[in-house]
A and B are shown apart, each in its own frame.
Chain A
Amino acid sequence: GAVVSQHPSWVICKSGTSVKIECRSLDFQATTMFWYRQFPKQSLMLMATSNEGSKATYEQGVEKDKFLINHASLTLSTLTVTSAHPEDSSFYICSARDAGTGSHRQYFGPGTRLTVT
């Protein structure tokens, strides 16, 4: 149980284009999902908290107009990187909390490797 999927697993796009990443909780409902970014050989940094049915909460320094988050259902959150640039190349990982258990545990997706050329 508690499986989180992400799609795509990797994507290459040209500078200036937009890329959408999907995060799905497969066997549980998640009122809250989180988006993290991880640069090579670095730690995970929280970008934003995605709340079902309401606006996302962004961490300081993360541009909300550049990283658009939509959490339209209890099992799906999407992150759109708009007007991507090479410095946005990174490993994007989502996580989700099981709304049914009330547990603090976060279950991570497999990540999406974004390369902007």
Chain B
Amino acid sequence: GENVEQHPSTLSVQEGDSAVIKCTYSDSASNYFPWYKQELGKRPQLIIDIRSNVGEKKDQRIAVTLNKTAKHFSLHITETQPEDSAVYFCAASSGVGSGGGADGLTFGKGTHLIIQP
């Protein structure tokens, strides 16, 4: 099955600086890579996602890059703000399960992002 590694587990940056979180995956069949932000006790919120036919995607201050050959993808947050403080999870999915149905997400262990004022 898929295995997703995420680093670092904790990241502290000064407000206004950039933050980068990196993930690697093991299953070459994975083709969908979302990033979620989760605040304490709340649901994960999708912040950006990328399909394997794209190398980079950007949405305002957030960007994701994907290197299929190396099987790694990264989240980039620029001009960080206090409200960016949360736990961020990367995930991977092949989209299709072993039975031919939809495939669930395999999550990384999460990164606790702390924005220092």
Contacts and interface: CB of A to CB of B under 8 A. Distances in A.
A17 interface: no
Contact of B95 (A43, A104, A110, A113): A104
Contacts, number: 62
Question: Which of B41, B93, B102, B108 has the most A CB atoms < 10 Å from its CB?
Answer: B102
Given A43-B89, A43-B110, A49-B97, A106 B43 contact: no
A97 B1 CA distance: 21
Dominant secondary structure at the A interface: strand
Interface of A: 31-32, 34, 36, 42-46, 49, 51, 57, 59-60, 91, 93, 95, 97, 104-111, 113
5 contacts: A31-B102, A44-B44, A49-B102, A51-B101, A111-B41
B109 to A, nearest CB: 5
Contacts of A108: 36, 43-45
